[in-house]
Amino acid sequence: MKISTILALVAAWLLTSGSAFATHKAWVLKNSGADCQFLNPTASDVVTAGGAIVNTTGSDRWVVCPITLASRWGSNGTTAFDAKTGVDARYATVYVNRLDSVSRTVSCSATMASINQDSYYSATVSTTSGAGPTRVTLANQFGTFGSWATGGGSTLEPNEDNYAVSLLFSCTLPPNTAILGTKVKLCQLSSDCAAGDFDAENDQSGGTSALTNYVQTSGMECSATTSAASVTKSVDGIKNTGASATSVFCPIVPPADDSWEIARDVSFPNVYYSGGQDTSNCVSAGTCPSCKIAWSGKDGVARDSGILLTKSPNRVVSAALKVRVDVEAAVGILCSLPSQTTLEGLTASVSITGVQQGGI
């Protein structure tokens, strides 16, 4: 074969793979419902044992869910590229779970704050149905490009390439309704990246990976699942000031996945605390935190590892285990916190896709 022919074939392959690379790749960013906050909090606000935030009042409430934009690494693979600083999206959704059979309406929108101190908004999207899980989709694919919800004076789509300093979803949440978690697929390279599957929720999901990153969560990010009035937060973490043990959930924010979700593994959890006891039998005695990995699936069902962390030296409970949480809507650590004990924070190892090459 002539050298010129070989070069032509190589050039054609590079052009083809480069086109796919530029139109598909996206960072998958996920946050638990426990990362959300009511704008007018009450003393009775709680999250579920699976990490969903719940409106337990009798009226609609406004809840804000910040998106963690970190870990969109641009030079971590064999092909280096500049990480995008805007919020061009292939897909964005809020996972909702209605806890009774009453037909209720959830309405959400997206807001980006830019480095120029301006804020831009997507259109508001609403969904109405009875009991069970559903999605409020704020960005999706249309033909060969992705777009934030438009209409009604929305300004996010035309300004999504501005340098974003924050991105959040805000929702009107009706009574007896929960937000399980949020997800966004932000384009890595090209604007409004898109893939072959029209519904990006299903695109390239469900695989496994042996690659891991360590994550860390402050105790201040934890929330009570019961008896919210008995916990307080400070620079030290979350403290049970009540007379008896109470349950708290601490969300884990996984690092960005490249292009698709995976069946997540959580390994080597460590929970750090102060107060309580530091004896070898304190977990079984209920005098130090009793903890396990917990999560919610997209079906709205709360699950946990069923395996308690064991006592380690220096006020730490930990475990050398690996728990498959599958393609989760929320994931974290669930602990029974004894009276006058502070959960300071946690670390864990979670599996990620790593940086993929080519068009996926």
Q: Give the predicted TM-score (pTM) of the model.
A: 0.90
Of 152, 187, 222, the domain-final residue:
187
pLDDT score, position 329: 96
- List, run by run, the mean pLDDT of 10-residue segments along the chain (360 residues): 36 33 74 97 92 96 96 69 88 96 96 96 96 96 88 95 97 97 92 79 78 95 92 96 96 92 94 97 97 96 96 95 94 98 98 71
Output the DSSP codes for 200-255. TTSTT-SB--SEEEEEEEEGGG-EESS-GGGEEEETTEEEE-SSS-EEEEEE--PP
pLDDT score, position 1: 42
Gap between the Cα atoms of 360 and 356, Å rounded: 7
pLDDT score, position 357: 60
Reduced to 3 states (helix: H, G, I; strand: E, B; else coil), residue 73 is coil
- The single residue listed with the structure tokens 């809507």 is 329
pLDDT score, position 8: 36
Gap between the Cα atoms of 98 and 343, Å rounded: 30
The CATH number of residue 144's host domain is 2.60.120
Gap between the Cα atoms of 159 and 349, Å rounded: 36
Determine the structural domain holding residue 255 and report its residue range: 211-352
Q: Give the chain's domain count.
A: 2
Residue 246 lies inside a defined structural domain of this protein: yes
The CATH number of residue 246's host domain is 2.60.120.260
pLDDT score, position 78: 61
